[in-house]
Chain A
Amino acid sequence: MGFDLSYVLAALPDVGAASLTNAWMAVVICVCALGMGIAFTVVRSLKYAVVNAVISVMISFVRGTPILIQIFLCYYVLPIVGLDLNPTTAGILAISLNSSVFITENFRGALAALDDGPIEAATALALKPAMIWYLIILPQLLRRTLPMLVSEGTVILKNTALLSVITVAEGFRVAQQIGGATFRPFEPLIAVALCFLVLNLVLVGLGTALERRLILKGA
């Protein structure tokens, strides 16, 4: 059958347009995952034994099972307990939850390396815990974990391709449909792979620019 570049080029406009769905879903998920990751971290730092035990079982489950299964659970199982989500929402929920767990675990390591001094000083000045988190801990934490957060961003972007299995019309699914319609399944896949490579490059480029800016401001 061989490889025909013209089929790649023919598929590129449609696949590229559909890949923008991956891009905006990834942006939404990044925001949700970061928010949830911070929330888990703050709640865990409060050290309620029962709450932390529940969270640590959840962390172990999310880290120990495939993201694909978590997507299936959110899409097929949540309706049974009365939460009927459309494919896009279920997918965004599943990937956000998954990544938030990896983020809070990473925060745990980074927190241990932070300096005590500023927090002790803030406590002596009677700042409220919320202010200490917001003004002192989070800025340092986010700066230090930025490289990890960027790489989690690329993981999120790649995971959005899995939402094709629950019928979200994103780039990979569109590529498969074009492949089915033209009987040339291989070339559209190359097109979608190119789209993901470009999106990843953009993401990593943005991350590097952000890192450089923050280091200039004095990390």
Chain B
Amino acid sequence: MQLDPTVITDSWRLFVEGTFVTLQLSAMAFVFGLALAIPVAVLSMSRYTALKAVAIVYLAIIRGVPFIALVFIVHYGTAALGARTPAFWSGTIALTLFASAYFSEVIRSTISALPPSQWDSGRVVGMSRWQTLRHIIVPQSVGPMIPPGVNVTIMMIKESSVISAITVGELTYQGLVVQGNTFAPFEVFITIALLYWAITLAFSQLAQWAERRIGRSQKSERPMGGIADRYLTLSTRRPAA
């Protein structure tokens, strides 16, 4: 097998363009998705059954339907309702819905992991529910939300590749174009895989750096050095005694 680097070098522009569109899609879905996740999380924690049911149904649909179907449903659905959106916006809307569901679960599970006494203490010193949320619950929750939030973001960046199916010119789509022109699947798919890998690695490095800056990095290591560690640890590094 012979690798042909000209396949990549001849169409490097398409790959750069595609990477840019992928980043653009992900950035927009991150911002809009997070904004939409907050009301969804509030609904899912509501005391009223009807409001809670709305959130539960929304989450079940967004997380239960394959993302590729969601993308097409948004794309054809807006057309069926008479408001045909350009593919790029259909993709952005679909990715936003996807991100909002997973972000809202991060918000909900982080907040409900706090001891309930935190809410009670707020009420005891005379704060309203809203003030308790604002001054006691939220400040404690932002740090723990970062690691699962990063995971959701990386998942979302990867999922954006599916939007290629409605001909949005992001990285995967450009790769398929080049592969159609050159019939060189090996070079093309390895290249786009490496580009995605670079994007997600860079993002997780950035997130780790941010986490260290905030000083919330909590690594729970088990105390090591027993017989059982032969089975229970997968790391080859010897622990410092």
Mark interface residues in A73-98 (1 if CB within 8 Å of B CB, else 0).
10011001100000000000000000
Contact A64 B66 (CB under 8 A): no
Chain B binding surface, main DSSP class: helix
B7-15, B111-119, B125-133, B191-199: which lies at the interface: B191-199
Tell whether A114 pairs with B232 under 8 Å between CB atoms, given A64-B197, A77-B185, A192-B69: yes
Q: B201–A60 contact, CB under 8 A?
A: yes
B165: shortest Cβ distance to chain A, in Å? 7
Number of chain A residues close to chain B: CB under 8 A: 62
A140-191 CB contacts (< 8 Å) to partner B: 154, 158-162, 164-165, 172, 175-176, 179, 185-186, 189-190
Residues 201-224 of chain B, each 1 if its beta carbon lies under 8 Å from chain A, else 0: 100000000000000000011100
Known pairs A47-B236, A116-B232; A80 contacts B185 (CB<8 A): yes
B151 and chain A: residue at smallest CB distance: A63
A21 is an interface residue with CB less than 8 A from chain B? no
- A-B interface pairs (CB < 8 A), number: 161
Chain B residue at minimum C-beta to C-beta distance from A107: B234
B124: Cβ under 8 A from any A Cβ: no
**A3 to B236 alpha-carbon distance, docked (Å):** 58
Determine if A68 and B231 form an interchain contact, defined as CB atoms under 8 angstroms apart. Answer: no
Is B186 an interface position by the 8 A CB rule? Answer: yes
> What CA separation (Å) do A79 and B200 show in the bound complex?
28
Select one of A41, A53, A69, A189 contacting B72, CB under 8 A. A189
B226 at the interface (CB under 8 A from A): yes
Is B53 positioned at the interface, with any CB of A under 8 Å from its CB? no
User: Known: A66-B161, A72-B189, A159-B66. Is A52-B172 also a contact (CB below 8 A)?
Assistant: no
Binds A, one of B40-48, B57-65, B137-145: B57-65
A52 to B77, CA, bound (A): 47
A165 touches B165 (CB 8 A): yes
Most buried by A among B61, B158, B162, B231: B231
Contact of B76 among A67, A154, A185 (CB under 8 A): A185
A125 CB to nearest B CB, Å: 12
Tell me the interface secondary structure of chain A in the complex. helix
Q: With contacts A66-B161, A161-B68 known, is A119 near B76, CB below 8 A? A: no
Closest residue on chain B to residue A185 by CB atoms: B76
Contacting pair A68 B227 (CB below 8 A): no
Residues B231 and A119 in contact, CB atoms below 8 Å apart: yes
Residue of B nearest to A55 (CB): B234
Let me know if B233 and A189 touch, CB within 8 A: no
| Beta-carbon contact of B234 and A52 below 8 Å | yes
CB pair A81–B1 under 8 Å, yes or no, is yes
Contact A80-B189, Cβ < 8 Å, known A65-B158, A158-B67, A161-B68: no
Q: Is the CB of B197 within 8 A of A65?
A: yes
- Determine if B80 is an interface residue (Cβ-Cβ < 8 Å): yes
Task: Give the nearest-CB partner of B196 in chain A.
Answer: A65
Q: Given A41, A154, A164, A179, which contacts B68 in the complex, CB threshold below 8 Å? A: A164
Q: Is the CB of B189 within 8 A of A112?
A: no
Which of chain B's residues 83-102 have a Cβ closer than 8 Å to chain A?
A: none
Please indicate the chain B residues that have their CB under 8 angstroms from the CB of A80 in the complex: 1, 185-186
A3-B80, A76-B185 are known contacts. Are A45 and B69 too (CB-CB below 8 A)?
Answer: no
Pick the contact of A186: B63, B73, B160, B231 (CB < 8 A): B73
* Interchain CA distance A49-B237 in the complex, whole Å: 9
- Complex interface: chain A residues within 8 A of B1 (CB): 80-81
Enumerate 9 A-B pairs (CB-CB under 8 Å) in ascending A order: A45-B233, A47-B235, A159-B66, A161-B68, A172-B68, A186-B73, A186-B80, A196-B69, A197-B61
Nearest 5 CB-CB pairings of A with B = A161-B66, A76-B185, A66-B161, A116-B228, A119-B228
- Apart from A47-B235, A69-B192, A112-B233, list 19 A-B contacts with CB within 8 A: A44-B234, A52-B234, A64-B158, A65-B197, A66-B196, A77-B186, A80-B1, A114-B228, A114-B232, A137-B232, A162-B66, A164-B68, A165-B165, A172-B66, A186-B77, A189-B69, A193-B70, A196-B66, A197-B64
List residues of A whose CB falls within 8 A of some B CB.
1-3, 41, 44-45, 47-49, 52-53, 60-61, 63-70, 72-73, 76-77, 80-81, 108, 111-114, 116, 119-120, 123, 129, 132-133, 137, 154, 158-162, 164-165, 172, 175-176, 179, 185-186, 189-190, 192-193, 196-197, 200-201
